Amino acid sequence: MRALLTCFTVLVSTWVLAQPDARLDAMRGAALNVEPQAPIIAKVENKDLKRKRAYPMQPPTIPHKIDGYQVDLNVNRCMMCHSRRQIETSQAPMVSVTHYMDREGNFLADISPRRYFCQQCHVVQTEARLLLDNDFHDVDELLRADNKNAH
């Protein structure tokens, strides 16, 4: 009986493995042996308009193109406009003062090495559709709604 059960299991397993089209990838919703069409890359916005943040403490998105910006150990192109020495000339917003602090909370004369590579946290704004609905309301909106309901 045990040998018969083993044989049956092997036969069913072999049949299932011989049916590649029947195996679906749950994440893609497609067969594993089919390469899906790549989505079109969303166009980068270049409007220099700040977007509202989607959640508390979200790093601001970059409202302009950064193609070809050099950010490496020798040069940080972002800081040519956004450093506190350049904002008067460039009229760009200065990076947060937290970017000038080390891990112990001491203020530095220049940008902190741990905040040097901007795209670790900040991304360019694109004209992409939202993948999920977002019903986040920041504290100011909640307080305004609460004040409106109280009167």
Tens-place pLDDT, residues 48-75: 888 888 787 899 999 999 999 999 999 9
Are residue 63 and residue 20 in the same domain, yes or no?
no
Asked if the structure places residue 36 within a domain, the reply is no
Q: Which domain holds residue 114?
A: 41-129
Are residue 27 and residue 63 in the same domain, yes or no?
no
Are residue 87 and residue 55 in the same domain, yes or no?
yes
C-alpha span between 112 and 117 (Å, rounded): 10
Are residue 14 and residue 52 in the same domain, yes or no?
no
Averaged pLDDT score across all residues of the chain = 86
What is the distance, to the nearest Å, from the Cα of residue 125 to the centroid of all Cα atoms in its chain?
Answer: 10
Tens-place pLDDT, residues 25-55: 777 677 777 777 888 888 998 888 888 887 8
C-alpha span between 43 and 125 (Å, rounded): 9
**The token pair that represents 59 in the structure block:** 């790093």
Token pair 């166009």 is found at: 43
C-alpha span between 54 and 134 (Å, rounded): 8
Asked if the structure places residue 140 within a domain, the reply is no
**The token pair that represents 99 in the structure block:** 């970017």
- Count the residues in the chain: 151
C-alpha span between 136 and 129 (Å, rounded): 17
Write the CATH number for 116. Answer: 1.10.1130.10
C-alpha span between 68 and 151 (Å, rounded): 53
Asked if the structure places residue 9 within a domain, the reply is yes
Are residue 95 and residue 118 in the same domain, yes or no?
yes
Asked if the structure places residue 80 within a domain, the reply is yes
